A and B are shown apart, each in its own frame.
Chain A
């Protein structure tokens, strides 16, 4: 009994450490800047009306504004009219912190465009990865050819190469062919996934040889076997790989930051976070965290939907 208690305490502690940053992210996305600075307001903040200083500043009335507004304020001095206009602006720019943070997230930067870019890039990467990895994994798992083990060792070896080590040569190559600042630059370097080949190969090893022989007897060529037999049986493993691949490239900040150097139309969601980083006028933590929340939500939803099959895929128990 006490042993179970300890086990659970330790696990809960671990879970809290993992959850803490997410808690902060979501909490900050609800709070006003003041509450974030002072670290008060609990999880939701007090949600008191706040004034968006930048909004007020943008509507600061000049001489023309005062002149056009004059008929609305008869018998008042310019000074009084100006004060009234400022007061109006302040009233208009009042809003709840949660509304402020999330509207900022979508208006300050074209977040929807970034999300669309994220979808285009991750989907292209994943599809091409499958097109490359499935035949390769099939060959490594089921075809007998000279040097197969050597090729597989090279594949394993490639798993050890960190992305950052080859980033510079990759960038130079892309720059030489003039592909920087294109979708291609975001997609092409990731189309051959060593991890995908490895994972699918391990799964294919569990597919009975008889099934492949039966397909051959039924008149299928090797490529037909890959797409008509192996692909459908490998759906659980593919889902597992999909999560790894999509999460990695959806969340990637490093590579888009390198190859997208000016064109904001190509920004992926993580690059969108940069819009709120603190320059001269201080950081916008609230909108920044709201953006972050918007970015991770699709992934979490996708995982929850595919959770059961995903775990099936990782444990590689698809076929019996």
Chain B
């Protein structure tokens, strides 16, 4: 168990800079998700932490120790791969025992056949077998120990890969999209299990995913990466409610946040000809954008701010998402409604929408968050 420090790490492949000076402190026992669209550099960062790739500059410190130039094998980290990467020729038990065998047995004791007869090998092998059994029981795969990976289902392989990672006590666990090869149902189940595993072990987890739901549901903190930078790193609540960048706002949350182009002047906002109920800072002028979460919108009759036509309705049973076309706006906006409102949301219906002024997130023309002194007094002071 240990803390991790990522200190101004950059990585260039040829002419392209994949990581642009990433800094991130991960405390002991924390579950940090690196989340971002594909190609944002999150996997590269994980591989640099693991020692499978070397950084172009900057440093990785594990418990204060700079590990630059230390082989992956000697960093005492465990990794779970997206493809699971189990050894196809070994049984489940042998797969899980490999990290222990490579670390605890001498090279003589590892020799095939005669290795077992070397002095001390018997006791160590018994110890290893016990650890393997314990890890297998933790993950409920002890009945599969004699099978080969080829005979396992995707979920079982995933557990074996986890078992191989947690059989020894590494400084930290690195997980590279471990759920993306599972079907949707199993993914939800395994998500819970990994989160519980993290609570039980109290170990440091670094979890790479492109799925914001996984990041939201499992992490202590989320680091949203885009274009080789960390845009924001905070607890899930903050990242969702207070995105500091329009790209973060767009990436986190499903369905996606609605972005509307608006005109700011004299502390007011206008969308086309409509005056919005949101107050803007006085110095803000010209075209900016606001973000409205689907759950921030509600159906309205008399006090409607926006009006539009329902184009498509998605009924999820417990909630309904309606896609609405606003006149004078290119894209559709999404609104969340309760099943009770289903009747007024038939396709083609003209409806009115309203929202609380404080529900709108303001972003300046560069996509940076603007805090409203009236709505967010605390943040605006900090900002």
Q: B-contacting residues of A (Cβ < 8 Å)?
A: 208, 210-211, 213-221, 224, 229, 232-233, 235, 319
**Nearest A residue (CB) for B53:** A213
Most chain A CB within a 10 A radius of its CB, from B50, B73, B78, B90: B73
Whether the Cβ atoms of A219 and B82 lie closer than 8 Å is no
A224 to B82, CA, bound (A): 23
Q: What residues of A have a CB within 8 angstroms of the CB of B52 in the complex? A: 213, 216-217
| Known contacts A216-B71, A217-B73, A219-B73, A232 near B82 by CB under 8 Å | no
B267 at the interface (CB under 8 A from A): no
Do B99 and A210 have beta carbons less than 8 Å apart?
A: no
How far is the CB of A85 from the nearest CB of chain B, in Å?
A: 62
A220 touches B102 (CB 8 A): yes
B114 nearest CB across to chain A (Å): 15
Collect the chain B residues with CB atoms within 8 Å of residue A216's CB: 51-52, 71-73
**The residue from B81, B89, B90, B98 contacting A210, defined by CB atoms under 8 A apart:** B81
A217 contacts which chain B residues (CB < 8 A)? Answer: 50, 52, 72-73, 77-79, 99
Interface centre among A213, A215, A235 (most CB of B within 10 A): A213
Nearest A residue to B76 via CB reads A219
Residues in B whose Cβ lies below 8 Å from that of A233: 87-89
| Interchain CB contact under 8 A, A219 and B102 | yes
B71 contacts across to A, CB distance below 8 A: 216
Given the complex of chains A and B, what is the CA–CA distance between A213 and B98 in angstroms? 13
Q: Which A residue sits closest to B88, measured CB to CB?
A: A233
| Interface residue B186 (Cβ < 8 Å from any Cβ of A) | no
Asked if B133 is at the interface (CB within 8 A of a chain A CB), the reply is: no
Closest to B97 in A: A218
With A213-B52, A216-B52 already in contact, the answer to whether A224 and B102 are too (CB < 8 A) is yes
Alpha-carbon gap, A115 to B225, bound state (A): 67
A232 to B89, Cβ gap below 8 A? yes
How many angstroms from the CA of A185 to the CA of B99 in the assembled complex?
43
Say if the beta carbon of B164 comes within 8 Å of chain A.
yes
A213 and B79 form a contact (CB under 8 A): yes
Residue-wise interface mask of B (27-56) relative to A, using a CB-CB cutoff of 8 A (1 in contact, 0 not): 000000000000000000001001110000
Contact with A along B64-75 (1 / 0, CB 8 A): 000000011110
Determine if B156 is an interface residue (Cβ-Cβ < 8 Å).
no
Between-chain CB contacts (< 8 Å), 18 pairs: A208-B83, A210-B83, A213-B47, A214-B164, A215-B98, A216-B52, A216-B71, A217-B77, A217-B78, A218-B73, A218-B99, A218-B164, A219-B73, A219-B102, A220-B102, A229-B87, A232-B89, A232-B90
A235: chain B residues within 8 A (beta carbon)? 89
Query: Residues of B contacting A214 with CB < 8 Å?
Result: 79, 81, 85-87, 164
**Once bound together, how far apart are the Cα atoms of A208 and B88, in whole Å?**
11
With both chains docked as a complex, state the minimum distance between the C-beta of A199 and any C-beta of chain B, in angstroms. 19
For residue B78, give the distance in angstroms from its CB to the closest CB of chain A.
Answer: 7
B87 partner residues in chain A, CB cutoff 8 A: 211, 214-215, 229, 232-233
Closest Cβ neighbor of B47 among chain A residues: A213
How far is it, in angstroms, between the C-alpha of A229 and the C-alpha of B85 when the chains are bound?
Answer: 11
Q: Does B103 contact A (CB under 8 A)?
A: yes
| Chain A to chain B: the 7 pairs with minimum beta-carbon distance, closest first | A219-B102, A214-B85, A232-B89, A210-B85, A218-B99, A216-B72, A210-B81
User: A229 to B78, alpha carbons, bound, how many Å?
Assistant: 18
- Min CB distance A52 to B, Å, is 51
Interface of A is mostly: helix
CB-nearest residue of chain A relative to B72? Answer: A216
Minimum C-beta distance from A313 to chain B (A): 15
Closest residue of chain B to A216 (Cβ to Cβ) is: B72
- A residues near B73, Cβ cutoff 8 Å: 216-221
In the complex, A213→B81 CA distance in Å?
9
Distance from B149 Cβ to chain A, minimum over Cβ atoms (Å): 11
Choose among A215, A221, A232, A319 the residue with the greatest number of B CB atoms under 10 Å from its CB. A215
Compute how far the CA of A211 lies from the CA of B164 in the bound complex, rounded to whole angstroms. Answer: 13
B88: min CB distance to chain A, Å: 6
A79 to B330, CA, bound (A): 126
Cβ–Cβ contact B72 & A319, under 8 A: no
Residues of A contacting B78 in the complex (Cβ-Cβ under 8 angstroms): 217
Q: Hey, which chain A residues are within 8 Å of B81, CB to CB?
A: 210, 213-214
| Residues of B close to A211: CB separation below 8 A | 83, 85, 87
Q: Say yes or no: A319 contacts B77, CB within 8 Å.
A: no
* Bound CA–CA A229/B102 (angstroms): 13
* Shortest Cβ distance from residue B116 to the other chain A in the assembled complex, whole angstroms: 16
Measured CB to CB, the nearest residue on chain B to A219 is B102
Closest B residue to A318 by beta carbon equals: B88
Within 8 A of A (CB), among B83-117: 83-90, 98-99, 102-103
Instruction: Tell me the complex Cα distance, A52–B51, Å.
Output: 77
Complex: A155 Cα to B50 Cα, angstroms: 33
Kindly provide the distance from the CB of A217 to the nearest chain B CB, expressed in whole angstroms: 5
Q: For the complex, what is the distance from the CA of A206 to the CA of B79, rounded to whole Å?
A: 22
| A residues in contact with B72, CB < 8 Å | 213, 216-217
A218 touches B88 (CB 8 A): no
User: Which of chain A's residues have a CB closer than 8 A to the CB of B79?
Assistant: 213-214, 217
In whole Å, how far is A207's beta carbon from the nearest beta carbon of chain B?
Answer: 10
Select from chain B the residue with minimum beta-carbon distance to A319: B88
Given contacts A221-B73, A232-B90, list 16 more A-B pairs with CB under 8 A: A210-B85, A211-B83, A211-B85, A211-B87, A213-B81, A213-B85, A214-B86, A215-B87, A216-B52, A217-B50, A217-B72, A217-B77, A218-B73, A220-B73, A232-B87, A232-B88
Known: A213-B79, A218-B164. A208 touches B85 (CB 8 A): yes
B83 / chain A contacts, CB cutoff of 8 Å: 208, 210-211
Enumerate chain B residues within 8 angstroms of A219, measured Cβ to Cβ. Answer: 73-74, 99, 102-103
State in angstroms the CA–CA spacing of A20 and B47 once bound together.
Answer: 60
Q: Is the CB of A210 within 8 A of B82?
A: yes
Which B residues lie within 8 Å of A229 (CB)?
87
Residues of B within 8 A of A232 (CB): 87-90
How long is the Cα–Cα vector from A232 to B98 in the complex, in angstroms? 15
A220 to B51, CA, bound (A): 13
CA distance A11 to B89 in the complex (A): 39
Which of B85, B88, B90: most chain A Cβ within 10 A? B85
